[in-house]
Amino acid sequence: MSEQQTLFRTHNAGELRKEHVGQSVVLNGWVQRRRDLGNLIFIDLRDRSGFAQAVFQPSEDEQHQLLMAQGDKLRSEFVIAVEGVVAAREAANTKIPTGEIEVKVTKIEILNAAKTTPFYIQDNIEVDENLRLKYRYLDLRRAEMQKIFLLRSKVTTYMRNFMDQNSFIEVETPILTKSTPEGARDYLVPSRVHPGEFYALPQSPQLFKQLLMVSGFERYYQIARCFRDEDLRADRQPEFTQIDIEQSFLSMEQFQAMMEELMTGVFKATIGVDIPRPFPRITYGEAMARYGSDKPDIRFGLELQDLTEQVRGSGFKVFNLAIENGGQVKCIVAPGCATYSRKQIDELEAFVKRYGAKGMAWIAVQEEGVKSPIAKFFSEEELAAIIERAGAQKGDLLLFAADSKKVVADSLGALRSKLGKELGLIDESEFKFIWVTEFPLLEHDEEANRYVAAHHPFTMPMEEDLHLLETDPANVRAKAYDLALNGFELGGGSMRIFNREIQERMFQALGFSLEEAWEQFGFLLEAFEYGTPPHGGIALGLDRMIMIMAGRQSLRDTIAFPKTTSASDLMTNAPSPVVIEQLDSLHIALGGKATTSIEKQEAEETEAK
């Protein structure tokens, strides 16, 4: 069925307009659809630019009858080349860009046939995602998907040029690198040449980019593939892409300003959105207190209200107990929700319980007065004071959390996001960036009973807290800055340690002995002694950024060939068994816990849902 192509495109189908009328053109592309009106055949011919209508008209001419016979064979998704003359349509279709013209076909080549596709090549299809992933090459043929990858390419092109104009050099760092004990689980690659040894795929180019600063490159960037063998949630992929940036000799403020210029520039250039600068800044402490989140969505209010002082010593045991245990009592004021049914409130309570809350007290400020199961524990004055302090109006519903600081933040933070969406408080066309600063340097890992790095072990402590590193590590703040956008963490950055002694102290704070630190990171510690400049940087999640810009819900829509939640590629069937000779040459054998994998089952069950 396939012919040798001799008709090569002169125009993009989607760009034909009235001014082309009378011109002879060649279009190459796919049959979007074919309508046969007996003596006339209409084709929507689609290419990357859009589509145009092509017409096969009958004629006495023998040549033309052959043409009609060809047109008769066409089906959806056939690949064709047509030559023809652009003509004005009798009845213009103003709904489509090419609706004023059609191409009267004089010649056709059928370059390839097509079977009926497993789903329609059109937008807004309701198809099982697994089927879309198996036939990813067809899924990507749909205009809404093409648009995402065009956007992605435009975004990276813009960003690269911005970096280039600001004297950043693109340097590629290795994918086959060394396994390090900190951070997430590594993907490993057995070495054939060195029996029993392994490379690791990088979780980020962190060490290499810092070494490039030691090398005096001063300004580095890379759009870098990174790998984490994590249990996959809906918004994680085993491989992902980050815009990785590192610079020397700039202050934190200078660098942040440059990143704001980058971000506002790319949003303006690619999706035409104006974003004011400078971006607001908030400390981690304030973000957790006001939004219950270290990546607050500031497109709406609904802030957490602290009522700890108002309710201290009240008659309500649950509140008192929380406060006595060093916790807090906070609430969210849901506007206009005072008439929520018991069932609606129960659902909200079930929701916050997922985040560790043991229950959820509430007060409805109804027209006819306060309604609340906890009203009886408070005097009228106390109730009025609570309502006033919370800033609630008639018609509002106060939803409480009383627990440890963490549980209060987690549960009310999640509740805030949920209500923000459900109550329509969010303008989905808005993009609101915010810098979150002064993160804690360390977090206590209860399981391992030691401190772990909140960002990574190379983050510089704030100078004024440095003296606490050994004595009060939990209260050391980091020179770290996350960039949040619409409630997502878009990137994490920091100024780095560039001094051997501080880096050694940091490793020790993480429970390493000096010997262990040198065994694992000796090349970095040594490098710091040969003239290392002050430096810092950021890593921005490209996949997530595109997801937000394109208004999608899943990272899988922003990666051309993504993996499922069980890290499978449904199109190629990767991963897959390999022949034993391959394992032999890598000096490994199947073994360990290989018989059944609970995680795999769980992942498959999740996917099936």
Q: Map the footprint of a copy of itself across residues 453-512, applying CB under 8 A.
A: 463, 498-499
Q: Is the N-terminal amide bond of 440 cis, ω within 30° of 0?
A: no
Hey, which residues between 1 and 20 contact a copy of itself (CB under 8 A)? 2, 4-5, 8-9
Report strand pairing: 219-227 vs 169-170: parallel
Stretch that binds a copy of itself, among 318-326, 358-366, 481-489, 531-539 (CB under 8 A): 531-539
CB of 371 to a copy of itself, least distance (A): 50
Q: Which is nearer to a copy of itself, 101 or 559 (CB)?
A: 559
Among 164, 346, 445, 472, binds a copy of itself (CB under 8 A): 164
Q: What is the dihedral of CA 178, 183, 188, 193, to 10 degrees?
A: 10
Among 129, 182, 197, 443, binds a copy of itself (CB under 8 A): 197
Q: Which is nearer to a copy of itself, 448 or 594 (CB)?
A: 594
Q: Is 92 in the site for a copy of itself (CB under 8 A)?
A: no
Q: What is the dihedral of CA 322, 328, 333, 337, to 10 degrees?
A: -20
Q: Which is nearer to a copy of itself, 138 or 434 (CB)?
A: 138
* Sign of the alpha-carbon torsion through 236, 240, 241, 244: positive
Binding-site annotation: residue ranges: 182, 228-230, 237, 455, 489, 496, 541-544
Q: Is 321 in the site for a copy of itself (CB under 8 A)?
A: no
Q: Is 574 in the site for a copy of itself (CB under 8 A)?
A: yes
Q: Is 606 in the site for a copy of itself (CB under 8 A)?
A: no
Q: Which is nearer to a copy of itself, 300 or 521 (CB)?
A: 521
The three-point CA angle 475-476-478 to 5° equals 135
Q: Is the N-terminal amide bond of 190 cis, ω within 30° of 0?
A: no
Q: Is 447 in the site for a copy of itself (CB under 8 A)?
A: no
Q: Please work out the total of residues on this chain that contact a copy of itself, with binding judged by CB under 8 A.
A: 137
Among 64, 89, 107, 178, binds a copy of itself (CB under 8 A): 178
Among 42, 217, 351, 488, binds a copy of itself (CB under 8 A): 217
How is residue 533 annotated by DSSP?
P
Q: Which is nearer to a copy of itself, 191 or 320 (CB)?
A: 191
Stretch that binds a copy of itself, among 268-276, 320-328, 374-382, 572-580 (CB under 8 A): 572-580
Hey, which residues between 106 and 135 contact a copy of itself (CB under 8 A)? 111-115, 117, 135
Tokens of 71: 């047109």
Q: Coil, helix or strand for 514?
A: helix
Residue length of the chain: 609
Amino acid occupying residue 390: A
Q: Is 553 in the site for a copy of itself (CB under 8 A)?
A: no
Q: Which is nearer to a copy of itself, 417 or 558 (CB)?
A: 558
Close Cβ partners of 571 (under 8 Å, ≥ 6 residues apart): 133, 134, 135, 136, 137, 561
Q: Are 292 and 410 in contact (CB under 8 A)?
A: yes
Stretch that binds a copy of itself, among 216-224, 294-302, 308-316, 427-435 (CB under 8 A): 216-224
Q: Is 218 in the site for a copy of itself (CB under 8 A)?
A: yes
Binding-site annotation: residue ranges for ATP: 228-230, 237, 489, 541-544
Q: Which is nearer to a copy of itself, 470 or 605 (CB)?
A: 605
Q: Is 571 in the site for a copy of itself (CB under 8 A)?
A: yes
Binding-site annotation: residue ranges for L-aspartate: 182, 228, 455, 496
CB of 56 to a copy of itself, least distance (A): 19
Q: Is 28 in the site for a copy of itself (CB under 8 A)?
A: yes
Q: What is the Cα–Cα distance from 243 to 207, expressed in whole angstroms?
A: 15
Amino acid occupying residue 410: D
Q: In b/e form, how buried is each residue of 478-514, taking b as 16+ CB within 10 angstroms?
A: bbbbbbbbbbbbbbbbbbbbbeeeebbbbbebbebee
**DSSP one-letter string for 419-487:** HHHHTT---TT---EEEEE--BSEEEETTTTEEEESS-TTBPBPGGGGGGTTT-GGGPBBSEEEEEETT
Question: Residue 161: what are its φ and ψ, rounded to 5°?
Answer: -65, -35
Hey, which residues between 232 and 291 contact a copy of itself (CB under 8 A)? 238-239, 241, 248-251, 254
Q: Coil, helix or strand for 83?
A: strand
CB of 494 to a copy of itself, least distance (A): 16
Q: Which is nearer to a copy of itself, 172 or 445 (CB)?
A: 172
In angstroms and rounded to an integer, the radius of gyration of the C-alpha atoms of the chain is 30
Stretch that binds a copy of itself, among 97-105, 372-380, 442-450, 594-602 (CB under 8 A): 594-602
Q: Which is nearer to a copy of itself, 346 or 599 (CB)?
A: 599
Among 138, 262, 348, 540, binds a copy of itself (CB under 8 A): 138
Q: What is the Cα–Cα distance from 489 to 486, expressed in whole angstroms?
A: 8
CA separation (Å) from 367 to 154, 371, 395, 609? Answer: 53, 10, 7, 43
Q: Is 375 in the site for a copy of itself (CB under 8 A)?
A: no
Q: What is the Cα–Cα distance from 44 to 34, expressed in whole angstroms?
A: 7
Q: Is 513 in the site for a copy of itself (CB under 8 A)?
A: no
Q: How many C-beta neighbours within 10 Å does residue 59 have?
A: 11
H or E element, residue 56: strand 50-56
